[in-house]
Amino acid sequence: MVQAFLQDRKHLTRRSKGLDLINQHPRNWMLREMNELEGTATFTSRKNPQHAQIIHCPYGQAGDRVCIRNASAHMQPGHPADQKARLDQSDHHLFLEAHTRPQDAVELWRIIRHIHVSRILEITEEEARDEEVELVLDHGQSLGWVNYAPHSTILCGTARESFFSLWDFLHDSWLQQTANNPYVWVIRLAPLSSSSEV
């Protein structure tokens, strides 16, 4: 996944951070409004429509800059990335679940182009491919999609199935797994147009 960002192939990511309250019982909530410019999602209770929850996206809003780092990257005080993060409090950090060594840590900047909320099972086949799950090829012939479930030897038939196996692999909590169909932030990123934007 890190290489996909580095090679500018991955522009879409789904995250559930900040939606814990809603995802305790996602069937009890309905998304009423998404405000991209403010980075807020308003949910109403299906049992009591007068009860609403406004959730602020922890990654920011459309137009914000995002610093993407490996989850394993622990930047030391004084590191250029740490300095840049301190210069502008409007910057947000998006940590990738990457199995890399600290010396392989990467840090890059993107801008949020679009953000909305969706249920995890609503992902389309095209969006799953945009999430950069891996297609297995043998001499140019497609064999299927990688199954990220531990110890699995069976490939997935679609990119959606592959993405769900990856999501469940990265999320140990039952509340966040695909069977519970949690709400997620769907964030579309784009490279910064110039170094002056950093």
124 falls within a domain = yes
177 falls within a domain = yes
Beta strand spans in the chain (E)? 12-15, 29-35, 40-45, 52-56, 65-70, 92-96, 107-119, 135-138, 141-145, 183-191
d(CA 155, CA 187): 27
Residue found under tokens 């196996």:
165
| pLDDT classification of 22: cutoffs 50, 70, 90 | very high
49 falls within a domain = yes
CB pairs under 8 A, 24+ apart, for 72-80? Answer: 72/98, 72/99, 72/100, 72/101, 72/102, 72/105, 73/100, 73/102, 73/105, 73/106, 73/107, 74/102, 74/105, 75/105, 75/107
Give the pLDDT confidence score for residue 11 in this predicted structure.
83
DSSP character at residue 169: H
Say which range, 61-65, 163-167, 194-198, has the weakest mean pLDDT.
194-198
Per the structure block, which two tokens stand in for 113? 């182009």
125 falls within a domain = yes
197 falls within a domain = no
Q: Which domain holds residue 44?
A: 2-192
d(CA 56, CA 29): 16
Q: In what order do the strands lie in the sheet with 183-191?
A: 12-15, 183-191, 107-119, 65-70, 92-96
Contact status, residue 60 vs residue 94, Cβ threshold 8 Å: no
198 falls within a domain = no
Specify the number of domains making up the chain. Answer: 1
pLDDT in tens, 147-179: 999 888 899 999 999 999 999 998 877 777 899
Give the pLDDT confidence score for residue 70 in this predicted structure.
61
Per the structure block, which two tokens stand in for 49? 């429509």
Give the pLDDT confidence score for residue 173 in this predicted structure.
74
pLDDT in tens, 66-114: 877 665 544 444 433 333 333 233 445 555 443 333 444 556 788 899 9
Q: What is the mean pLDDT of the chain?
A: 80
DSSP character at residue 176: G
Give the pLDDT confidence score for residue 44 in this predicted structure.
97
| pLDDT classification of 65: cutoffs 50, 70, 90 | confident
Q: pTM (2 decimals)? A: 0.78
- Name the residue among 66, 148, 161, 82 with its Cα closest to residue 120: 161
6 falls within a domain = yes
| pLDDT classification of 7: cutoffs 50, 70, 90 | low
Contact status, residue 57 vs residue 41, Cβ threshold 8 Å: yes
| pLDDT classification of 181: cutoffs 50, 70, 90 | very high
